[in-house]
Amino acid sequence: MKLLSPHLLAGLALRNRLVVAPMSRMQGDSAGMPNVDAAAYYARFALNGVGLILTEALYTAGPASRAYYGQPGLTNPEQAGHWRTICDAVHQHGGRLFAQLQHAGKLAEPGLHDRPLGPVDGVAAGLSWQTQRPNVPAHRATDEEIEQIVQGYGESARWAEEAGFDGIEIHGARGYLINDFLSAGNTRNDRWGDRPHLAEAVLQRVKAQCSLPVSFNYSQYKMDDYHHQMPGGPVALAALFQRLRHAGADILHLSARRILHPEPWGERLVDIAARSAPGPLLINGGIRTLQACEQALADTPADGVALARPFLANPDWLPRSLAGDVLRDYEPGMERRPLLA
C-alpha cells in the first residue's frame, strides 16, 4: 500500500505518506499558550501511526496577527517552551510535527484587534467564523506594518526551530492575510501590489531564520468566498507556484473543497503545480477513506495525502480503517469539543 510506505519529504524521513491537516481546535489560552490537552491531542495521531501532523494555525509575532479567540501562538520563548513538550510527545511515538504559521488579515474575529489589517481597506463578506458576528473593516496595511509582519514570520520560524518542530508551514490559504494579498482584491499600487510579493517575502524571511523544511499551503477558496477563483486561471496559478518554489517553498500543500476534481478550466491544482513547479506536493480536500487516499496517490503526482475532518471524528482513523471498522462521521462543532475518546 503506497500510503503506508516510508517516504522522504523535502529531506525529512516519514514513516508513511499520511498527514493530519491543520484544524482550528482553539487550544490556546488568553496568552496564546497551548492548553493541557494539546500534547495529548497531537501525540495521539502519532500513536495511531500518522507520519506527519500539521498544527492548527499558530499566530505569528507580527501586528494584529491573531485570528480567533483561543488560538495558540508561537511568538516568544514561553510559548516555544510549551510547544517543545508537544513536539517531544509526538516524536516519542514516531511522528513528525510541522508548525503552521498564520496572520489573520481581515478575517480576525471582531474585538481581537483595534486595527485589523489587509492589503486594502475593506471588510470580509458575511459573518466571522468563530463568533458568527459581522466582520469588521480592515485597514490598508502600511509599508511599516507589512515589514513588521514579515519580520514576525521570521521570529516565529526561529521559535519553531527552537521548540523542536520538524518543519514549518506558511498559511497562504482561505482568505487570511497572505492569501488576501494573492487575490484580485489586492489593488495596491506599491510593491506589495505585486500579488505574490508578500508570500515571497515571508518565505524568504522564514528560510533565512531557520533550517527547517518549509511548506506553503494554498487554496483558491476563501472563508468569505467559497467559489473564488484565481484571476488568470491556470496561467496565473502556474506562475504563482513557480514563484513560491523559487522563494523557498520546499513543499506545496494544495487545498480545495474537492482536490481530486478538475477546476472549471478542466485541470486539477495538483497537476498544474506538478507541471509548472516540480517538487514535493501534499493534497487535501474531500478525501475521507483509506481507498480514496490510495487512489489519490495512484492518480496524482502527490507525495502525501492530508485529512482533516476524518481525523477529528476518528483520532484512530488509520487502525480503524485498516481493520475495516466503521468510521464515525464528522459532526459540525466537533472542533470545539474536548478530546474524543
Write out the catalytic residue numbers.
176
Whose grid coordinates read 482533516? Answer: 308
Q: How many other C-beta atoms lie within 10 A of the C-beta of residue 286?
A: 16
